[in-house]
Structure 1
Amino acid sequence: MARNKKGKNVDWADDEHFSKDRSIFYIEHTTECPIFHTKAEECLTFFQQRIPERQFQLVRNRNGKQVPRDGAFEVCIAQNARTSQHELWSGLNRGPPRRDKFPLYEDLVADVHRVLRKFYPDKVAPEDDEEIGDL
């Protein structure tokens, strides 16, 4: 579940909110420092701009149902709210310095395309295929 603009929790997998065209970024991040919250937002924004033909939703710390581990910044993606998650990045055992906890989002693009193409080959632009190569 995620919070919508009114602050109400949304279950993206339920029949009312589910869309096979909405991919979910699941990010577990510690709350010890505000930069972790900011970096989660940056990740979502980056992919919304980088892959505009796809809808993305951010779900952080299982909407408060998960107590994040100290120093965690874990990024997973699911094709939609009803499919399995694929880990893209783990910053748990990285750092100090703190900046090592966070991925370079551009480095994750090929993996995101690979996950999306697995279920939605028609949603990945042909030029993206050339960029990805043989993964």
Structure 2
Amino acid sequence: MPPKGPGKKKKDVDWADDEHFSKERSMIYIEHTYECPIFQTKADECGAFLQQRIPERKFQLVKNKYGRQVPREGAFEIGFSQNARTSVHLLWSGLDKGPPRRDKFPVDYETLVPDVNRILKKFYPDKAVGVLEEDEDEQREDDM
């Protein structure tokens, strides 16, 4: 991907500093290769999916550490942290998958939601995540 022209570079925000930090903003870190545009498209799709699926949280998508990281060849990895000051947990790695290229990406982003909820619960167990409550209600109804 060609670099942006002068004056068009987006300023990097340090989400962990006091000015920008929020406990309510979870971070999605994606390392993706530039060898094909589908990698960037899939990264954007993942961020949009999680924001739509868990609307009570704010999400910040960080791709290739704001362009400062040189991605590994064939890389598509998704990391998640509860907020900018907590550790990053690997949710998906497509490094050792493929060819074909489609194997590098999760078949369905829905498979990432249980891990995301587990991470959110780990750091803030007193905050209920709506998705988990719905799943528990459905399970209780099935048991009856």
Question: Structure 1 length as normaliser, TM-score?
Answer: 0.88
Change (3 A) 1:84 1:37: same
1:9 Cα offset (Å) = 1.1
Report the structure number with the largest CA radius of gyration: 2
1:124 aligns with 2:129: yes
Residue in structure 2 matched with residue 108 of structure 1 by the alignment: 112
1:120 Cα offset (Å) = 2.2
Question: Structure 2 length as normaliser, TM-score?
Answer: 0.83
* Amino acid aligned to 1:127: E
Structure with a larger share of its residues in strand: 1
Q: Residues 23-45 of structure 1: CA distance to partner in whole angstroms, max 9, x if unpaired? A: 00000000111110000000000
Change (3 A) 1:116 1:100: same
1:32 aligns with 2:35: yes
Residue in structure 1 matched with residue 20 of structure 2 by the alignment: 17
Q: Residues 74-130 of structure 1: CA distance to partner in whole angstroms, max 9, x if unpaired? A: 000000000000000000010111010001201111001000111123141222456
CA distance in structure 1 between the aligned counterparts of 2:100 and 2:138, rounded to whole angstroms: 31
* Amino acid aligned to 2:71: P
1:52 Cα offset (Å) = 0.2
The within-5 A match list for 1:56-135 is 56-103=59-106, 104-121=108-125, 122-125=127-130, 126-129=133-136
Residue in structure 2 matched with residue 45 of structure 1 by the alignment: 48
Which ranges of structure 2 fall in alignment gaps of 5 or more residues?
A: 1-8, 140-144
CA distance in structure 2 between the aligned counterparts of 1:33 and 1:131, rounded to whole angstroms: 41
CA distance in structure 2 between the aligned counterparts of 1:85 and 1:35, rounded to whole angstroms: 24
CA distance in structure 2 between the aligned counterparts of 1:110 and 1:18, rounded to whole angstroms: 25
Are the aligned partners of 1:54 and 1:123 in contact in 2 as well (CA < 8 Å)? no
Which ranges of structure 1 fall in alignment gaps of 5 or more residues?
A: 1-5
Moved segments of 4+, more than 3 Å: 128-132
Change (3 A) 1:29 1:130: farther
